Amino acid sequence: MAKYLLLKHYRGAPAAVNDVPMDQWTPDEIRAHVQYMNDFAERLQGTGEYVDGQALSPEGEWVRSDGDGKPPVTDGPFAETKDLIAGWMIIDVDSHDRAVELAGELSAAPGAGGRPIHEWLELRPFLTAPPTVDD
């Protein structure tokens, strides 16, 4: 089994086929989209391929260690994931082909007008071993 991260983006990916921003959807369209995502996750729980997934709030901040004392916090000025990443799902599948198949299916979640979004999802494998450097 191999774990993959599926990232849903607000922006930064190629435009979706049904490219209407979610803030312009009706409440029923949002409910249908969320239900599709929940049904997808439930089905993958049944096959043992679902690990976790969450929609992300648009709030967020950068935090780092700055030595002793309270860590500094900033809201920019660089691109932040709260502007880019809408949510994520982790899957654990037998092959890359299966990960691509599931990402394609998730991409078809309904959007405006109930039509599939056909959005681009970022598919990232988890690192299974630390990288090595050869001289």
Q: Which domains does the chain have, with CATH numbers?
A: 2-57+83-125 (3.30.70.1060)
The pLDDT tens digits of the residues spanning 57-111 come to: 777 776 777 777 777 776 655 555 555 677 889 999 999 999 999 999 999 999 9
Q: Where are the beta strands (DSSP E) in the chain?
A: 2-9, 50-55, 62-63, 73-74, 85-93, 121-125
Nearest one of 25, 53, 49 to 37, comparing CA atoms = 53
Does residue 127 contact residue 13 with C-beta atoms inside 8 Å? no
Ordered alpha helix ranges (H), 1-135: 27-47, 81-84, 96-106
Q: Pull the structure tokens for residue 111.
A: 């959007």
Residue-level pLDDT at 67: 73
Q: Pull the structure tokens for residue 32.
A: 């249908």
pTM above threshold 0.95: no
